[in-house]
């Protein structure tokens, strides 16, 4: 006999911990729709999908969330100096990046981490990857970290993974209720919106109950969803990024995931989103002739451009 929790219990605990203000609802929905959880063998590509009866993923995909989460969090240290220069001096992001004397070293390390994540997608298993030495190995205990930055990355990564699992649970729910939209792309967007709303609809109650401001809690969830959108982008094949018979255009999914946050223009959410997007566009060698006086203005201009 073993005391080790089942995979199904582990996923349920993750969801309840990520969205504690809705823990009872998660438990009730989990009981009502009763999805099995299957951890399949790792393989090339990613595995995260669902049908009426089960949610399926592999450990390599979970490791990918971890590697992308901890790597993408570092986008702030790489690109925030240039964004501050842009806002203060009215320069374009490209001009500000050009005069950031420390960018070359920081960006090289950042690109190496993100390239390692891309390599993990094409690998057969995590063991085939040379894990970046400055990214901690995946682990379940947040308190094992002494570095506050690692704790933040852990929290955001766990929330991003919870979003992905809620997205898959939404597929289970729609299929059980025979309420799927007419097309698969519409269903994907519906599941993105349901997962986002589930993670954000009752933030005010959570903030009041735990002595936080609504802005603090909303900002953290919004940052996690920005990270989730980054992961979605990373795992979407290039051939599907403009949309196909199964998936909507990637720009529509990103909008669905991060839309609706009424946060101040100087919120860390906007700043983090802008850093993530600068990293994406730099990897694609795209021009960044963008000017903005606030983090929100920069992020919104980048979101429009990345589409």
Contact partners, residue 58, CB within 8 Å, separation at least 6: 39, 40, 41, 42, 43, 46, 47
| Tokens describing residue 118 | 């891309």
Q: Is 46 left (phi over 0), alpha (psi -120 to 50) or beta?
A: beta
The confidence score (pLDDT) of residue 1 equals 46
Contact partners, residue 132, CB within 8 Å, separation at least 6: 67, 71, 112, 113, 116
Neighbours of 116 (CB within 10 A): 18
Upper half-sphere CA count for residue 187 (Cβ side, 13 Å): 21
- DSSP for 85-140, written as a single string: HHHHH---HHHHHHT-TTHHHHHHHHHHHHHHHHHHHHSSSGGGS---TTSPPP-S
17-51-198-245 Cα dihedral, nearest 10 degrees: 130
Contact at 8 Å (CB) between 48 and 11?
no
Upper half-sphere CA count for residue 201 (Cβ side, 13 Å): 8
Q: Is 183 left (phi over 0), alpha (psi -120 to 50) or beta?
A: beta
DSSP conformation class of 201: T
Helix (H, G, I), strand (E, B) or coil at 264: coil
Cα angle for residues 118, 229, 6 (degrees, 5° grid): 80
Helix (H, G, I), strand (E, B) or coil at 34: coil
Closest CA to 300 of 272, 270, 280: 270
Domain boundaries, the chain: 7-306
Strand 48-50 relative to strand 54-58, pairing: antiparallel
Neighbours of 181 (CB within 10 A): 13
The confidence score (pLDDT) of residue 305 equals 83
Report CA Rg, the chain. Answer: 19
**pLDDT digit string (tens) for the chain, length 307 residues:** 456 789 999 999 999 999 999 999 999 999 999 999 999 999 999 999 999 999 999 999 999 999 999 999 999 999 999 999 999 999 999 999 999 989 999 999 999 999 999 999 999 999 999 999 999 999 888 988 999 999 999 999 999 999 999 999 999 999 999 999 999 999 999 999 999 999 999 999 889 988 999 999 999 999 999 999 999 999 988 888 889 999 999 889 988 898 778 899 999 999 999 999 999 999 989 999 999 999 999 999 998 887 6
The confidence score (pLDDT) of residue 3 equals 64
Measure Cα distances from 173 to 84, 141, 160, 228 in Å. 44, 30, 20, 21
Contact at 8 Å (CB) between 110 and 43?
no
């Amino acid at each position: 006999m073993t005391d080790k929790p089942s995979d199904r219990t582990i996923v349920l605990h993750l969801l309840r911990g990520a969205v504690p203000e809705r823990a009872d609802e998660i438990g009730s929905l989990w009981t009502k729709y009763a999805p099995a959880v299957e951890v399949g063998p790792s393989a090339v590509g990613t595995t995260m999908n669902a049908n009426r009866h089960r949610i399926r993923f592999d450990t390599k995909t979970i490791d990918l969330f971890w590697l992308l989460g901890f790597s993408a969090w570092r986008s702030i240290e790489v690109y925030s100096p240039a964004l501050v220069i842009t806002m203060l001096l009215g320069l374009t992001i490209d001009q500000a990046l050009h005069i950031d004397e420390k960018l070359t070293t920081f960006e090289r390390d950042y690109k190496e981490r993100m390239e390692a994540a891309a390599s993990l997608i094409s690998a057969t298993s995590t063991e085939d990857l040379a894990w970046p030495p400055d990214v901690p190995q995946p682990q379940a205990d947040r308190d094992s970290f002494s570095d506050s930055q690692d704790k933040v990355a852990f929290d955001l990564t766990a929330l991003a993974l919870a979003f992905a699992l809620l997205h898959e649970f939404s597929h289970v729910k729609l299929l059980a209720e025979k309420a799927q939209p007419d097309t698969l792309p519409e269903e994907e967007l519906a599941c993105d919106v349901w997962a986002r709303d589930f993670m954000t609809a009752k933030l005010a109650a959570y903030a009041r109950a735990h002595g936080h401001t609504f802005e603090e809690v909303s900002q953290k969830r919004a940052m996690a969803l920005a990270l989730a959108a980054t992961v979605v982008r990373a795992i979407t094949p290039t051939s599907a990024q403009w949309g196909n018979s199964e998936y909507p255009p990637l720009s529509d999914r990103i909008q669905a995931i991060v839309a609706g946050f009424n946060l101040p223009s100087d919120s860390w959410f906007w700043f983090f989103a802008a850093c993530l997007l600068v990293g994406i566009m730099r990897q694609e060698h795209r021009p960044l002739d963008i000017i903005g006086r606030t983090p929100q203005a920069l992020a919104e201009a980048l979101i429009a451009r990345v589409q």
